[in-house]
Structure 1
Amino acid sequence: MKIEVCSADITNIEVDGIVNAANTSLLGGSGVDGAIHRKGGIEILEECKKIRSRQGGCKVGEAVYTVAGNLPSNYVIHTVGPVWSGGINKEKELLSLCYTNSLKIANQLQLKSIAFPNISTGIYKFPKPLAAEIAISSVINFLEKENTSLIKVYFVCLDQENEQLYRDNLRGRIELTH
């Protein structure tokens, strides 16, 4: 298992599946969510509408998947991160569930590679250092406990601050590729 940290546009990463930091409506939004919907095209939106009709959207901490449309991957795993409210509403646990539930879907789909954005650290205001720690711990814990098809996990950071936080958190914990 290899983990790679990079600063890039997640919509350009060639992997089996990318994770979308979605909102509960699944209809696109700003940030990563908006970029994935714009570049992925109408196919993603149409599948999201079907999921909404079937189950009413996606709850915080849960994950669902769609095709990737025009993206250079096969699937988009949509997960809804928590809005930070000082840590009093189980935000840490919910953020961890975003990663765990996304990895469960990746296993179900037998993906070999997956790319995660920095979930909840944009307009949802989750503190970046804490979010990086939770993301890495959640992914490593899952990979250590589960029999998985995954060979490579990417943390695709939007900015250098997040990239450095992820690198610092990974140092000495697992093989880090560049």
Structure 2
Amino acid sequence: MSNELTRASEIIDSYGCQQSNLIAIMQEIQAEYKYLSEEALTLVAEKLGISTAKVYSVATFYENFSLEAKGRHIVKVCAGTACHVRKSQPIFDAIHEYLGLTGKKKTSADGMFTLETVACLGACGLAPVMTIDGEVHAKMTPEAALALLEDIRKEESGK
């Protein structure tokens, strides 16, 4: 087993390798690695004595599981009714283009940002809304959203 999976193995063992703890195990592994790699899912299947297909079906059924490595900063654009009506889609589109994302790819090539949509952030009165690393940004425009990402890039390049 690679050193990368040592922590994943410890997590599985801490749950007694019990199939009934599959979701909890996957949640903790994702918290540790920021996503569920193919290797980690295969290890879970082996150690729990279940098929890899079953593990993958759980990982793909629940929206909070990610099979793709996430960026250092998570950007979520609200797609709820209030935000949609107040033009959240152009914000998403501008960020998508700025990050150079194509197809279903959600994470920028440099690993800095992951772009996601959410059904509702619960801040409808502030629409359109987005979050960056959990911090809410209200009444956004495409230009304001890109300025926030630029600020983060500048801050990180100055370190």
TM-score by length of 2: 0.29
Pick the structure with more strand per residue.
1
- Find the structure with the greater CA-based Rg: 2
TM-score, scaled to structure 1: 0.26
Larger % of helix: which? Answer: 2
